[in-house]
Every structure is written in structure tokens, then in C-alpha cells.
């Protein structure tokens, strides 16, 4: 298989996955539209009841109906906004899917001509990419910008909109009901804090600045801590030996591979995940999951079956064999594996960077190896273990 055909197959697989995502968004849109209709129906009924209350109704009942109408109106508006967001997300993903599929078809056409991929013209700092390659690079950059914009719109931007609405509620209550306004202020402060944390997480996911400033060890430590906290799963971390700065592309590649593998392992809900870095002539990064094996009832039979009748001894031997099979099956059921598609993608990315990839322990352990420029540290330099 040529490089062009392999790249085209990978892009086609990405386009197929995006098609699945589009179908999932269609389901969410249908659910949101149903909820919006339900809220609007209830709001209209409450509004009609409030309009027909007349002078016979009490003030308390009128206030309750008015609050109900306001609440249902707000919910209906939020559902309409959610519908717009989902439909915008669907359109963005559909455009991305079409772009990737078109790129895959174009790569296949280029690979099918039998000609070698044109090399970059060697003009020093003024090196020029061939037009076909330039278009692919520009399309990838635009897709990345579109994805970041979508994530900003669905995350921090939406949270900031909610903060503005909450601030308007507080402004209206300050003069009318200071006691109630105090509770709304506390809710506003909590929303601001939550949005700040979400924004920090978003920035870290896009490009962790600590990776540029401090290197791989602190960045992976924070990633392990934050992902473990969000998943409510213990993530052990240790770095053995003297850590060193690596070339930027190698640090970035290692971080992305380990971070995505860690997220996939945590999504399978193991009991614990451990991440270790071993620094030497070769940096070895190990990511291992642990899951309590399924309970197998103890085998309560005599060990010495020689004095037993042959039929009973044969039955006991058969029970021992079944028990061993059950124990082995329980151990296999406790294992967790990375999804095959993700593993293939991570392996391809690692190969591009010269990183070796091993999958051990029936999929429960991922081991990466990367050569360290400059080799091992000086013998006089102290070796530390960081946890």
C-alpha cells in the first residue's frame, strides 16, 4: 500500500466517523425539538389560565401562574437556543465531513497517477509547497480553526451568555428584593468560577502552555490529575530518573498520544490507572489500567483424590478444570483495551515521530519508547523519583 492510499483510507475512515456523529446529533436535535414543543405547550396553557383568572383569583395564584409562565418561557427559549447550537454543529461537522471525503478522493487521484509525490522545492527559507499539498494544508488549518471556534461557541461563549442573563436577573432584584438578590449573586459567583475553570480546561486541551514553559513531566502530571478528578478515578503518576526537555514536536506528540490514550482508558471506567515515565537513554512511558477481576466462587473439594472411587475422582477433576476456565475468563473480562481505531491512529502518529508503541497485558498496558537527544544524563547528576 502506498503512502497516498494509506492516507486516503485514514481520511475516509475519519469521514465515516463524522457521518456517525452527524446521525447522533440528528437524534439530539429530535429530542430537543420535542422538549421545546412540550415547554411551549405548557407555557401557552399557563398563559391562557393566567389570562382567564380574572378578578375571582387570588393574588398568590396570579403570582404563581406568572412565575410559571416566565419559567416555561425561559426554558422554551433555552431549548430553541440549544436547537440552533445543535443545528449549527451539524452543519459544521457536515462541511468538515464533506471536506475530508473530498480530500480523500483527491489523495486517491494523486496516488493513482503512478507518479511520486512531488517534493518541496528546495529554496531555503523561501521553500514552496506544490499546489495540491498547499491546498491540503490550508484545508487542515481551516478545519482546525472551525473546530476551535465551535468548541468556543458551545463552551465558554455559552457559559458567558448564561452569566450575562444571571447578572440581569440580579440587577432587577437588587432594588426589589435584596435578600433574594443575595442568593442570586452567590449563584452568579458560582457560575463565573465554573466558567473560569471550564475556560482553563479548554485552553489546556487546545494547547497547554505549561508544556512550552516546563516540559513533558509537569504537563502529564496535570493531565493525569485533572482527568482523574473529572472521571472520579484514581490515576497514579510517577517520573523516574532525571527528566529533560525534548524537541518541541516530540514533547507535543508524546503528550497528545498519552493524553488521548488516558482519556480512552478512563472512559472504560477502570478501578485505577497508572502513568509512569522512566528516563534513561530511552524515555519509556507506560500507561496501565487496573480492574478488579470478577469474583469466582472458591473450589471446595479435597486436594487428594487418589483414594476416591474412579467416577468421583473424574468428577472432581472435571470440576477443577471448569474452575480454572472460570478464573481465566474472569481475568480476561477484567481487561480493558483501547478502541482499535484509536490505537491505529495513535500508532500511526507515533510512527511519524519515531516513537515505538507496544500493547501489553492483553491490551491493559500501553508502552511508548522515544529516543532522547543527547542520551543519558551525567553520572554525577542526581537521579530523582517524582510522584
DSSP 167-199: HHHHHHHHHH-HHHHHHHHHHHHHHHHHHHHHH
> pLDDT band at 4, cuts 50/70/90?
low
Work out the angle between the directed axes of helices 59-112 and 131-152 (0-180°, nearest 10): 170
Asked if residue 320 belongs to a domain, the reply is: no
In this prediction, residue 30 carries a pLDDT of: 82
Q: For residue 381, what is the DSSP state?
A: S
pLDDT band at 33 (very low <50, low <70, confident <90, very high): confident
The per-residue pLDDT for 273 is: 92
- Say whether both 31 and 109 belong to one domain: yes
> How do residues 144-173 score in pLDDT, each as one tens digit?
677 666 766 666 677 777 777 878 877 777
Grid coordinates representing 247 are 524537541
- φ and ψ at residue 310, rounded to 5 degrees: -55, -40
Residue at a domain's end among 156, 189, 206: 206
pLDDT digits 0-9 by tens, 35-75: 878 878 887 887 777 777 666 666 667 777 777 777 777 77
Does residue 341 register a pLDDT over 70?
yes
Burial of 381 per CB tally in 10 Å (0-12, 13-18, 19+): exposed
pLDDT in tens, 198-223: 777 777 777 787 888 888 999 999 99
Q: Is 125's pLDDT higher than 50?
A: no
- The answer to the question of residue 72 being in a domain is yes
> How do residues 292-324 score in pLDDT, each as one tens digit?
555 545 555 555 555 667 776 777 777 777 767
Q: Are residues 189 and 42 in the same domain?
A: yes
Q: Do residue 202 and residue 228 come from a single domain?
A: no
Cell of residue 375, nine digits: 542520551
**DSSP-assigned letters across all residues of 213-266:** HT-HHHHHHHHHHHHHHHHT-EEEEEEES------HHHHHHHHHHHHHHHHHHH
Q: Are residues 65 and 51 in the same domain?
A: yes
Domain finish residue from 206, 233, 253: 206
Residue 309 lies in a domain: no
Q: Do 224 and 168 belong to one domain?
A: no
* Same domain, yes or no: 253 and 169: no
Task: List the end-to-end C-alpha distance of the chain, in Å, as a whole number.
Answer: 44
Grid cell 528546495 in the structure block, residue: 122
- Answer yes or no: do 169 and 281 share one domain: no
Asked, for residue 305, whether it belongs to a domain, the answer is: no
pTM for the predicted model, two decimal places: 0.50
Report if residue 319 sits inside a domain: no
The pLDDT of residue 383: 44
Assess whether 163 and 17 both reside in one domain.
yes
Does residue 363 form part of some domain? Answer: yes
- 3-state SS class at 207: coil
Whole-number pLDDT of residue 179: 79
Tell me the mean pLDDT in the region 96-118. 68
Q: Which of 192-206, 211-225, 267-281, 342-356 has the lowest mean pLDDT?
A: 192-206
Say whether pLDDT at 114 is over 50.
no
- DSSP, collapsed to helix, strand or coil, labels residue 368 as strand
3-state secondary structure of 367: strand
Do 114 and 185 fall within a single domain?
yes
Residue 360, pLDDT above cutoff 80:
yes
Query: In this structure, are residues 354 and 370 in contact, taking their beta carbons and an 8 Å threshold?
Result: yes
- Supply the range of the domain harboring residue 184: 3-206
pLDDT at position 124 = 46
How confident is the model over 83-110, as a mean pLDDT? 78
Give a yes or no: residue 341 inside a domain: yes
Which of 205, 206, 211 has the alpha carbon at shortest distance from 246?
A: 211
CATH number for the domain spanning 368: value is 3.30.565.10
Residues 6+ apart with CB under 8 A from 14: 100
Regarding whether 73 and 8 lie in a shared domain, the answer is: yes
DSSP-assigned beta bridge partners for residue 265:
none
Q: Which of 187, 206, 225 lies at the terminal end of a domain, its last residue?
A: 206
302 or 250, higher pLDDT: 250
Give me the number of domains the chain comprises.
Answer: 2
The mean predicted confidence, pLDDT, of the chain is 76
Q: Say if 7 falls within a structural domain.
A: yes
The reply to whether 250 and 186 lie within a common domain is no
Q: Which of 35, 41, 28, 33 is nearest to 89 (CA)?
A: 28
Average pLDDT (14-23) is: 82
As a whole number of angstroms, the distance between CA 159 and CA 229 comes to 21
Residue 40 has a pLDDT of 80
Please check whether residues 152 and 275 belong to one and the same domain. no
Supply the Cα-derived Rg of the chain in whole angstroms.
30
Q: From residue 196, give the alpha-carbon distance in Å to each of 115, 190, 192, 293.
A: 52, 10, 6, 40
Amino acid at each position: 500500500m502506498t503512502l497516498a492510499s494509506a492516507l486516503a483510507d485514514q481520511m475516509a475512515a475519519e469521514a465515516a466517523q463524522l457521518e456517525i456523529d452527524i446521525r447522533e446529533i440528528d437524534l439530539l436535535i429530535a429530542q430537543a425539538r420535542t422538549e421545546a414543543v412540550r415547554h411551549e405547550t405548557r407555557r401557552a396553557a399557563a398563559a391562557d389560565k393566567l389570562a382567564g383568572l380574572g378578578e375571582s383569583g387570588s393574588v398568590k395564584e396570579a403570582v404563581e401562574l406568572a412565575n410559571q409562565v416566565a419559567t416555561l418561557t425561559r426554558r422554551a427559549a433555552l431549548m430553541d437556543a440549544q436547537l440552533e447550537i445543535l443545528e449549527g454543529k451539524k452543519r459544521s461537522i457536515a462541511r468538515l465531513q464533506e471536506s475530508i471525503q473530498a480530500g480523500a478522493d483527491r489523495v486517491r487521484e494523486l496516488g493513482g497517477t503512478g507518479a511520486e509525490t512531488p517534493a518541496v522545492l528546495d529554496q531555503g527559507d523561501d521553500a514552496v509547497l506544490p499546489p495540491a499539498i498547499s491546498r491540503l494544508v490550508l484545508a487542515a488549518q481551516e478545519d482546525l480553526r472551525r473546530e476551535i471556534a465551535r468548541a468556543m461557541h458551545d463552551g465558554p461563549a455559552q457559559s458567558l451568555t448564561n452569566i450575562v442573563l444571571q447578572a440581569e436577573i440580579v440587577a432587577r432584584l437588587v432594588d426589589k428584593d435584596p435578600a433574594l438578590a443575595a442568593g442570586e449573586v452567590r449563584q452568579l459567583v458560582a457560575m463565573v468560577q465554573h466558567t473560569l475553570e471550564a475556560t482553563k480546561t479548554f485552553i489546556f486541551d487546545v494547547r497547554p502552555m505549561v508544556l512550552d514553559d516546563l516540559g513533558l513531566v509537569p504537563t502529564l502530571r496535570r493531565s493525569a490529575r485533572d482527568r482523574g478528578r473529572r472521571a472520579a478515578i484514581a490515576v497514579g503518576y510517577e517520573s523516574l530518573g532525571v527528566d529533560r526537555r525534548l524537541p518541541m514536536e516530540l514533547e507535543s506528540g508524546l503528550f497528545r498520544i498519552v493524553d488521548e490514550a488516558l482519556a480512552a482508558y478512563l472512559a472504560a471506567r477502570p478501578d485505577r490507572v497508572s502513568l509512569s515515565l522512566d528516563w534513561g537513554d530511552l524515555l519509556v512511558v507506560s500507561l496501565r489500567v487496573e480492574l478488579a477481576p470478577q469474583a469466582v466462587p472458591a473450589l471446595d473439594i479435597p486436594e487428594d483424590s487418589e483414594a476416591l472411587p474412579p467416577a468421583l475422582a473424574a468428577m472432581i477433576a472435571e470440576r477443577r478444570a471448569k474452575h480454572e476456565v472460570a478464573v481465566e475468563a474472569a481475568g480476561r473480562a477484567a481487561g480493558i483495551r483501547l478502541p482499535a481505531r484509536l490505537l491505529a491512529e495513535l500508532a500511526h502518529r507515533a510512527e511519524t515521530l519515531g516513537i515505538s508503541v507496544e500493547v501489553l497485558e492483553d491490551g491493559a498496558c500501553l508502552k511508548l519508547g522515544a529516543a532522547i537527544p543527547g542520551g543519558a544524563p551525567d553520572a554525577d547528576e542526581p537521579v530523582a523519583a517524582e510522584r
